[in-house]
């Protein structure tokens, strides 16, 4: 069976795993046919609504299973953290060992936050200053939960890239200062909004970020050195190469794209988006959620 769009065809006799591997080559199918899916999406019933334009036979439901997983489900392959970004993780206690020798597992709470997002600032403040002390005070929670701060760059705010570069630079220089720096940056975020930076040079913003880092114990000169953009192409170098944290920032952005996170803040708990968690949650709401979720 073949599904044709223009002058190309896909052989649907291959198993679903082959189709999945070739997914990135079939995006044109998505563009042409997604609009035909019924509002009540189901991979097993939708194929009767979508017919092959050549043979008039239904498109196999296996293809839509792939689309359903890639575009509709809220389950993501999360929780892995590159060792170079270890400072983004908060661990509160040693997980209890099991008699069988099976490695102990912990719950994972991932916070996708943008340094220049007011709602991210609100959620960070509550989590860092209220929820974290609650977790530390409860031995069961402390031994069963880890929290990861995921940097969520929002490029429609040009300053978002610059402040997140500073966060990555702190991870390189002083990972133990990362959360303290993030706290200071969120408190000072108004100074990095679009209006505050519109007449400031990029390196000028980096200088202020380096001073902010110094306020929590990060070496100011070294931090600025990681961020500064030279005004001339280095001998033997290439133009438009970014700064010394560009490659690490790309990894941060790539991870958010991998798990399809767009808005900030977004919370993922044990690999599933927790849409019920709000940036406006109070201490009592967080405490109730912890009692229910950390079992």
pLDDT in tens, 224-261: 999 999 988 878 888 898 999 999 999 999 999 999 99
Please report the pLDDT score of residue 99 as a whole number: 72
Q: Which residues contact 200 (CB under 8 A, 6 or more apart)?
A: none
Q: Same domain for 204 and 144?
A: yes
Question: Taking each helix axis from N to C terminus, what angle separates 158-173 and 246-258, rounded to the nearest 10 degrees?
Answer: 110
Instruction: Indicate if 87 and 66 belong to the same structural domain.
Output: no
Confidence of residue 18 (pLDDT cuts 50, 70, 90): very low
136 within 8 A of 145, measured Cβ to Cβ: no
Closest-CA residue to 142 (of 129, 128, 132, 157): 132
Of 43, 72, 101, which residue constitutes the final position of a domain? 72
Number of Cβ within 10 Å of residue 216's Cβ equals 17
pLDDT score recorded for residue 77: 47
Among 24, 45, 72, which residue terminates a domain?
72
Residue 294 has pLDDT above 80, yes or no: yes
What's residue 163's pLDDT? Answer: 98
CATH of the domain at 240: 3.40.30.10
pLDDT top residue among 21 and 145: 145
Residues in the chain: 295
What was the pLDDT predicted at 43?
A: 41
Q: 138 and 225 share a domain?
A: yes
pLDDT computed for residue 172 by the predictor = 97
- Look at residue 36 in the predicted model and tell me its pLDDT: 44
User: Would you say residue 3 has pLDDT above 60?
Assistant: no
Residues 109-128: what's their mean pLDDT? 98
Give the model's pLDDT for residue 58: 58
Domain span including residue 9:
2-72
Same domain, 22 and 161: no
Mean pLDDT, residues 262-270 taken together: 96
Q: pLDDT band for position 97 (50/70/90)?
A: low
pLDDT per residue as tens digits for the range 142-179: 999 999 999 999 999 999 999 999 999 999 999 999 99
State the total domains in the chain: 2
Q: Where are the alpha helices (DSSP H) in the chain?
A: 16-21, 27-33, 61-67, 118-126, 132-137, 139-144, 158-173, 178-187, 194-197, 202-214, 220-227, 246-258, 283-293
Higher pLDDT, 173 or 12: 173
Which of 72, 95, 120 terminates a domain? The answer is 72
Residue 176 covered by a domain: yes
- Does residue 295 sit within a domain? no
221 or 19, higher pLDDT: 221
Same domain, 109 and 233: yes
């Amino acid at each position: 069976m073949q599904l044709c769009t223009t002058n190309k065809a896909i052989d649907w006799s291959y198993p679903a795993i082959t189709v999945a591997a070739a997914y990135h080559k079939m995006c044109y199918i998505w563009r042409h046919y997604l609009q035909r899916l019924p509002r009540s999406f189901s991979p097993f019933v939708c194929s009767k609504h979508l017919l092959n334009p050549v043979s008039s036979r239904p498109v196999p439901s296996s293809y839509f299973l792939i689309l359903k997983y890639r575009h509709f489900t809220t389950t993501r392959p999360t929780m892995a953290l590159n060792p170079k970004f270890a400072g983004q993780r908060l661990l509160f206690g040693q997980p209890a060992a099991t008699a069988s020798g099976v490695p102990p597992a912990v719950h994972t709470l991932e916070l996708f936050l943008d340094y220049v997002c007011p709602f991210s600032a609100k959620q960070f403040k509550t989590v860092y200053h209220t929820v974290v002390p609650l977790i530390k005070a409860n031995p069961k929670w402390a031994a069963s939960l880890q929290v990861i701060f995921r940097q969520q760059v929002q490029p429609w705010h040009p300053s978002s890239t610059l402040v997140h570069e500073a966060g990555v630079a702190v991870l390189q220089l002083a990972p133990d200062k990362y959360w303290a720096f993030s706290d200071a940056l969120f408190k000072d975020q108004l100074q990095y909004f679009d209006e505050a930076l519109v007449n400031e040079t990029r390196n000028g913003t980096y200088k202020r970020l380096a001073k902010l880092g110094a306020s929590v114990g990060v070496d100011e000169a070294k931090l600025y050195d990681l961020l500064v953009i030279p005004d001339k192409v280095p001998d033997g170098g290439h133009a438009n190469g970014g700064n010394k944290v560009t490659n690490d920032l790309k990894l941060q952005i790539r991870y958010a794209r991998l798990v399809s996170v767009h808005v900030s803040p977004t919370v993922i708990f044990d690999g599933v988006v927790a849409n019920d968690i709000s940036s406006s949650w109070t201490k009592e709401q967080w405490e109730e959620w912890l009692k229910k979720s950390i079992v």
